[in-house]
Amino acid sequence: MSAIDELFQRLKSEGKKAFMPFVTAGDPSLDFTAAILKRLDAEGCHLAELGIPYSDPIADGPVIQASYTRSLQGGTKLSSIFSMASEVTAEISMPVVTMVSYAIIYRMGIDEYLQQAIASGISGAIVPDMPVDESDELAAKCKALDFSLIQLITPTTPRDRAVQIANQTTGFIYYVSITGITGERTELPADLADNLRWLRSVTDLPICVGFGISKLEHVEVLKPVADGLIVGSAIVRRIAEATNDQAKDQLVMDDVGGFAQGMLMAING
């Protein structure tokens, strides 16, 4: 059983839902990333997604794309991300998963990527550009290592293909709430709850919803039908104010911590 399986099993027994923040590794620095992960853990967040910066992101909106650009321009390297993660995961209780392009995994090699990720305390990977038809090798190797391979289902995914994706997924299903790219939204699609109810009828995996979630009103709509909520752009936008100035960065840290606290209260309060 993976760390993520254990997390959702515990939350289910407690009648709770997961709050899952996303942060970009290396924006504005890996030291800040380490500090914000520790802060989010201290606030009670259940799982963190760590974005591995990539020059050609697949579904990320302008806020996260900009954070990737800042990180890459600052010289962030995958080896340094793993080094930072190994120190942080030893100090926090929430599991950490990477949001990573398959191009990065492929370039390093599946076995090497998994070996380094696991050695760094990483519990799983979300690979947004990996078609389910081509995921057999990666899925088998992840499963053998109890390393969760979290795959995405979108509103436009045909239902037979959604079942195929669910069967190839471990840890939890990442359900994309909207058609399009990441980013804060004022409203969520009217049919989102119905889509989640159908998906729950065909899989026992936890279902977590991301893309566009930024408001407490969104939480009220989704918490009856989802096992977890993923928030990225609303957090990354706040982190964009950090400048590696100690006083300013503390204000940013407090802003992100307060936002996380409010979301946690809304989800499980």
CA distance 137 to 141: 6
Least confident of 99-103, 134-138, 188-192, 209-213: 188-192
Cβ neighbours for 64, distance < 8 A, ≥ 6 positions apart = 22, 24, 51, 57, 182, 232, 233, 236
Closest CA to 31 of 243, 234, 232: 243
User: Helices (DSSP H) in the chain: which residue ranges?
Assistant: 3-14, 30-43, 62-73, 78-89, 102-108, 110-119, 136-144, 159-168, 192-200, 216-222, 233-239, 246-268
By three-state DSSP, how is residue 90 classified? coil
| Lowest mean pLDDT, pick from 38-47, 51-60, 134-143 | 51-60
Q: In which band, very low, low, confident or very high, does the pLDDT at 28 lie, cut at 50, 70 and 90?
A: very high
Q: What burial letters (b/e) apply to 85-124, b meaning 16+ CB within 10 Å?
A: beebbeebebbbbbbbbbebbeebeeeebbebbeebbbbb
pLDDT at 214 over 90: no
Residue 56: the pLDDT is 79
Cα torsion 233, 238, 239, 242: sign: positive
Q: What percent of the chain has pLDDT over 70?
A: 94
Assess whether 49 carries a catalytic annotation: yes
Residue 60 has what pLDDT?
Answer: 65
| Contact criterion met (CB below 8 Å) for 197 and 225 | yes
The whole-number pLDDT of residue 112 equals 98
Q: Calculate what percentage of the chain has a pLDDT beyond 90.
A: 77
State residue 61's pLDDT score. 72
Q: Over 50: is that where the pLDDT of 18 sits?
A: yes
| Model confidence at 186: pLDDT above 70 | no
At 180 the pLDDT is 46
**Nearest Cα residue to 85 out of 95, 75, 71:** 95
Active site residue 60: yes
Query: Residue 253: is its pLDDT beyond 70?
Result: yes
Going by the DSSP 8-state scheme, the letter that residue 132 receives in this structure is G
Q: Which of 43, 49, 227, 249 is catalytic?
A: 49
pTM: predicted TM-score of the whole model, two decimal places: 0.93
- pLDDT score recorded for residue 189: 57
CATH architecture designation of domain 18-260: Alpha-Beta Barrel (3.20)
Question: Which of these is catalytic: 27, 43, 60, 249?
Answer: 60
